Amino acid sequence: MDYKTSDPHAGPRREDILPATTAAAVKVVVVGGFGVGKTTMVGTVSEIRPLTTEETMTQAGVGVDDVAGVEQKIETTVAMDFGRISINEQLVLYLFGTPGQERFWFLWDGLFEGALGAVVLLDTRRLEVSYEVVGILEERGVPFVVAVNAFPGAPVHPVSELRAAMDLPDCVPIFTCDARDRASCRDALMTLMRYLYDRAHKTPEPQ
């Protein structure tokens, strides 16, 4: 890892500075399998050049040459890309593109906690990856929408078939999306917000 902490000029570029009035942030996570276009989506809608945050993980070393009784530990670094969208003078939205392997998600303490929701990016060539991803989100109570990233040459399935294959309830939006297209990514986020909005309206107040 390339540490630059001694660089006194480290920090945002002038054009990436948030207004002093920014009072709070919200976050949305983009999840999906390896190489499905999460980083592309984050980069497409971000107002800043996407940034990378890293986290270290300690693992017990695996090897046949270990001295008996001495456990070798290996530090590894996992990276997560993120971008930012200023909503207004007070509010800013951060978009996190989670690492491809789900076991790394929880290296970032509270990544899903307090998130407005998630966009699940789906690659129709590898549907099975998304089953697990959706399972984890459901387990953790994170609301999500499903965006099918249209890869050239990927099999095209009607949305109804994908919904059935993924066992998604009718209320969860599923739609096609091009992670390289800004308007398309914005629409994906908008669909998530409308979904959350409808949920907030439909659910009766607790007694």
Partner 1 sequence: MSKADKAWDPGNPDRLYIVTKGCEDSNKAMVRLDLVTLIVARTETDPGLQPEHGTIVRMCDYPLSVAEISAYLTLPVSTVTVLLTDLLTRGLVEARPPARVAALPDVCLLEAVMHGLQNL
* Contacting partner 1 within 76-105 (CB under 8 A): 76-82, 84-88, 91-94, 96-101
Nearer to partner 1, 156 or 186 (CB): 186
Q: Distance between CA atoms of 76 and 36, rounded to whole angstroms?
A: 23
Instruction: Give min distance, CB of 108 to partner 1, in A.
Output: 6
Contact criterion met (CB below 8 Å) for 142 and 117: yes
Among 17, 60, 156, 164, binds partner 1 (CB under 8 A): 17
Of residues 18-47, those binding partner 1 (CB under 8 A): 18-20, 22-27, 34-35, 38-40, 45
Among 155, 160, 169, 203, binds partner 1 (CB under 8 A): 203
Nearer to partner 1, 203 or 207 (CB): 203
Among 66, 72, 156, 199, binds partner 1 (CB under 8 A): 199
Instruction: Give min distance, CB of 126 to partner 1, in A.
Output: 13
Instruction: Give min distance, CB of 27 to partner 1, in A.
Output: 5
SS3 45: helix
Q: Report which of 125, 82, 80, 84 is spatially closest to residue 102, judged by C-alpha positions.
A: 80
Instruction: Give min distance, CB of 40 to partner 1, in A.
Output: 8
Query: Per-residue x/- marks for partner 1, 49-68, CB under 8 A?
Result: --xxxxxx-x----------
Can you list the alpha helix ranges (DSSP code H) found in 99-158?
127-140
Among 125, 161, 175, 194, binds partner 1 (CB under 8 A): 194
Of residues 113-142, those binding partner 1 (CB under 8 A): 113-116, 141
Q: Report which of 100, 99, 190 is spatially closest to residue 145, judged by C-alpha positions.
A: 190
**Which residues make Cβ contacts (< 8 Å) with residue 106, sequence separation at least 6?**
none
Q: Report which of 49, 47, 50 is spatially closest to residue 86, judged by C-alpha positions.
A: 47
Nearer to partner 1, 6 or 160 (CB): 6
**Which residues make Cβ contacts (< 8 Å) with residue 178, sequence separation at least 6?**
149, 150, 184, 185
Q: Distance between CA atoms of 137 and 143, rounded to whole angstroms?
A: 7
Length of the chain as a residue count: 207
Does 164 engage in binding with partner 1 (CB under 8 A)?
no
